[in-house]
Structure 1
Amino acid sequence: MPAHADWQTDAALLLTRRAAGLRAHAGQWALPGGRIDAGETAEDAALRELAEEVALRPGAAAVLGRLDDYATRSGYVITPVVVAVGAAREVQPNPAEVASVHRVPVSELLRADAPILNHVAGAEHPVLRMPLGTRWIAAPTAAFLYQFREVCVLGRPTRVAHFDQPRFAWQ
């Protein structure tokens, strides 16, 4: 995946690699985000986290909506918020939280080999992965990428909360 230095203006999603020093899920692929503070809505938190993690500051009008909540094996409930930021180049990763920032062209989500569903011992439902470049991204991030593809790009109602995560994400 191209780093933010290889910026393009094609429609894309912003994906980060979490900093190695984080106590939870260090080094994993993620969308910008974090905890909802007292008195915040999920939308408020999404806008604040965009500013804190990658120095993007879109206004409330940039919020397009929410995808499905996803309960993780590690005890979090993630509420994905879709925010349009245009082809902003002024992304500045916060090194305390973000190791790198990547633009994933929306066209990459439309690959014929996506999604990848695997069965994992001990999981009731299949694990969802999304291929990107020569790699793949695991759920929960993959579930958000897949649902964004299905709902926002292809206009197909799709639920993802039932997909499981790979074992490395269970802690």
Structure 2
Amino acid sequence: MSDDASGGSARDPLERESIARALGGFVHRTADADGLRAAAVAVALGGAPGDRRMLLTKRPSRLRAHPGQYALPGGGVDPGESAVQACLRELHEEVGLRADASDVLGRLDDYVTRSGYLITPFVVWVGDYSTTLRPNDDEVAEVFEVTLDELDVDAQFVSIPESTRRVIRWPFRTGAIHAPTGAIVHQFREVAVHGRHTRVADFEQPVFAWR
């Protein structure tokens, strides 16, 4: 699943300059959007200098779609809107953080979900968000600030009888987060932290996420 890539590990891989440098050498892959609904998510990085974090949300259990699941800030692309515009709009709507095109450090591979979405992930720098993080209670039950140590863990790959593709799971605290979120986070970790141009589009989602 990985392509050879050059580049050593950065001293502080979650700093803006380190992320931009790592993503500058990464060529993202797009997927055919025919028949799919377009969506975009933000791999949002920031926090205090020397203690940068990645933001992860948990959806309220009352929602009709994917209740209680972990997610990156994001959502559907509206008519007349680009994927990056949707990503930045959803980042503000869900967690209250404003960013613009200059804060987009790069793009990861498109991921097509079993439920019919084409998700485009953007890596977005949000700086010191300590006074501006305001989760929207209608869309976000909780925001998690993921440390480098929590991010930099090996993914798990599981075989299931329903598919020839392996399910990917990213271990997080007391559980594991599946694709698409788990796949996107895994690719960000591979590219930004380790300089490995790992591809994740062929990894499977668990059966419960197929609808």
Normalising by structure 2, what TM-score? 0.74
Are 1:95 and 2:95 matched, yes or no? no
Maintained 8 Å contact 1:21/1:96: no
**Runs of 4+ with >6 A deviation:** none
Maintained 8 Å contact 1:20/1:26: yes
Maintained 8 Å contact 1:33/1:50: yes
- Unaligned residue ranges in structure 2 (runs of 5+): 1-46
Tell me how many residue pairs correspond in the alignment.
Answer: 162
The alignment partner of 2:55 has SS state of: strand
Are 1:54 and 2:95 matched, yes or no? yes
Percent sequence identity over aligned pairs: 54
Are 1:163 and 2:203 matched, yes or no? yes
Using the TM superposition, give the Cα deviation of residue 169 of structure 1 relative to its aligned residue in structure 2, in angstroms.
0.9
- Which of 54, 71, 74 does residue 33 from structure 1 map onto? 74
Give matches, 1:1-171, under 5 Å.
9=48, 10-89=51-130, 90-111=132-153, 114-171=154-211
- TM-align CA RMSD: 1.2
Using the TM superposition, give the Cα deviation of residue 21 of structure 1 relative to its aligned residue in structure 2, in angstroms.
2.3
Q: 2-side partners of 1:117 and 1:85: how far apart? A: 31
Maintained 8 Å contact 1:139/1:165: yes
Structure with higher Rg: it is 2
Q: 1-side partners of 2:165 and 2:184: how far apart? A: 16
Task: Name the structure where strand makes up a greater proportion of residues.
Answer: 2
Listed one character per residue, the Cα deviations across residues 39-87 of structure 1 (whole Å, up to 9, x for unaligned) are 2211111110011001000122111111111111111111111101123
Listed one character per residue, the Cα deviations across residues 79-125 of structure 1 (whole Å, up to 9, x for unaligned) are 111101123122111111111111111221223xx110001121121
Q: 2-side partners of 1:134 and 1:18: how far apart? A: 17
Normalising by structure 1, what TM-score? 0.90
The alignment partner of 1:151 has SS state of: helix
Equivalence for 1:3: none
Using the TM superposition, give the Cα deviation of residue 146 of structure 1 relative to its aligned residue in structure 2, in angstroms.
0.4
Q: 1-side partners of 2:128 and 2:159: how far apart? A: 37
- Unaligned residue ranges in structure 1 (runs of 5+): 1-7
